[in-house]
Chain A
């Protein structure tokens, strides 16, 4: 499969490639938010979608700097490679990083940590996220979510209106017509914005290849100590308790998503370049979320439930 490029100038037939069209749409959305909101913030986890989103934000305002900070909702259960990548990107771009810490929320008694072998901190992100939004007065929060990721997201608008509890009511969204976005809101309310709404997993990887976007090393095949649980390979980490019968082995794996290390699964792979990853995706039979997010398996409408609670 030839890798499509974004850097070739559009052909004289005045057509854009799909990546150029998606890029233009995302930049339009990002600029519109910067124009109509006072205090935007961009969620940056170091994952591939947020890396693409940050790359787009840089393009949207070049040659000026990105005019808003980035935020990481930190579960504390991170792959060190991802934190290192996050910090380096933030430093290179001269951005302010706000860290909303789940650990601090636990320590302050604001959330209670699940314990036991299946525990994950993903669910606990809502409270620190909402608190950080309120403390900083953010009125627009950019997220890298895509509509193809999960059924509940298929109906999500680009501008997703949330109330002051961060809650999402599927019956209460505003129609989005043409490329007209209505971001009007009351004080205390904020909008979640998803510039990557129309991008698929494959589009993301193709764009990463075309643009040479840097990613944390865990996305590429490497040797890691892992164990099998629920049909997934989980990384050995200080926060995971092994159950009876689970054994750690050394495998060559890569991660398809980045998240709480205790519940983000890896897949066996030899792909060390973006092109190789794209080849693998083209033949893969299991979705990104299905393969690797243990908590999504719990219930079909799980994501919908969580969005109603204010989680991204």
Chain B
């Protein structure tokens, strides 16, 4: 059984929480006592019906305000797949939360209200999903019961969204007409919409092909930790030196000729140890330990890859950055810490090339800073070379975070476009 991570976005009124509640409820992933608890709370709040949305609102402040203010992770499983939902708020002031939740998602589920159609928020969410490199998008057109289950309305919304999505880097786009409140097309196909020939949402989530989403071409192994039993006084294993890490791309096999960056020294892979013993192949996201034939000096932060397929090596990088803090803006001249794969360095923000209006996609080249939740294109100069790929090519070796050195907080999320000056 595979694992699928998906991000949900939608505003308070679109019925997102109700939809998630229904997925959990209908797949029997919520329990009796949780249901009793929300029934009780619904009564106390004066709701006229069991508010499935209450299943997902956890923190006190949220329960009182009736909206979600953070990324919440929910879990459910069917016999076919295990699902992790990154439930994120829909308002523009929580863009950073959506960026966070979307960063590991295989699929983005975007909700629109059938009465309102494609609104600014839907476009914004689609854009963010595309920016974060989420390979699969599902647009759920909700509240179909309030538009008389109209096929015409559904087709209208579909066409409008499709024309917007043409501007984005979206590879797989599906549309499903649903009613989260009544359950139509959520788990079971809807009897109210016989004109709809596609799958229910759950069926789509179970069947969507995610195995090809990873980069299986470019072998990338960021060294995370060096395992040396002799350091603990174990002299039986005094020759053992293993480079542990999580495969970030491609496929590694024993016997492969590899190069270690930054040293450039080449060697071959002697063996690959997995959590369950030696393996013949290692691919993302396996956590393995590589043993090398030669005694090359490799440490944490280095990258092991194939001799003839190397990442970019450099200190000048162009990237899209989402600024995530209220404590100061991103500005040219600013110095920050940067973490890329297992490597820490420092970086200077050389230039802010433009701020992107994520509603209109307009580029403001006159912007001199990025504030909370804003996204822009920046040019960075790092103190140490990074071993990177464009984010489009590999989400693991194309991403980084920026850290404020005074507070240690994570202040920015970055997606690498490429080495500076290439376009």
Contact = CB atoms under 8 A, between A and B. Distances in A.
Interface of A: 1, 4, 6-7, 9-10, 13-18, 20-25, 27-28, 31-32, 34-35, 59-65, 67, 147-148, 151-152, 154-155, 170, 173-180, 182, 184-186, 197-198, 200, 202-203, 284-287, 290-291, 300-301, 304
B280 A9 contact: yes
A152 B293 CA distance: 48
B287 A184 contact: no
Interface of B: 1-3, 31-34, 37, 41, 56-60, 63, 70-75, 77, 79, 81-82, 84, 96-97, 99-100, 103-104, 211, 214, 216, 224-225, 227-229, 231-232, 234, 237, 240, 242, 244-246, 251, 273-277, 279-281, 283, 285-287, 300, 324, 337, 339-342, 395-396, 399-401, 403, 408-410, 413
Nearest to B273: A62
Contacts of B341: 180
A185 B337 CA distance: 13
A287 B399 CA distance: 38
A104 B176 CA distance: 60
Contact of B224 (A1, A7, A35): A35
Contacts of B33: 285-287, 290-291
7 nearest interchain CB pairs?
A151-B58, A290-B33, A285-B32, A184-B408, A18-B82, A27-B287, A177-B103
A9 B70 CA distance: 37
A304 B337 contact: no
B343 to A, nearest CB: 10
Contacts of B410: 174-177, 182
26 contacts: A6-B276, A9-B280, A14-B216, A14-B251, A14-B281, A16-B3, A17-B2, A21-B285, A27-B287, A28-B287, A31-B224, A35-B225, A62-B227, A64-B231, A64-B232, A154-B72, A170-B70, A177-B104, A178-B104, A180-B399, A182-B408, A186-B408, A200-B77, A286-B31, A290-B31, A300-B37
B244 A60 contact: yes
B84 A198 contact: yes
Contact of A64 (B31, B97, B211, B229): B229
Given A64-B232, A180-B400, A18 B81 contact: yes
A147 B401 CA distance: 24
A244 B411 CA distance: 58
Contacts, number: 195
A178 B414 CA distance: 11
Contacts of A60: 244, 287
Nearest to A154: B72
A273 B103 CA distance: 39
B96 to A, nearest CB: 6
B227 A290 contact: no
B232 to A, nearest CB: 5
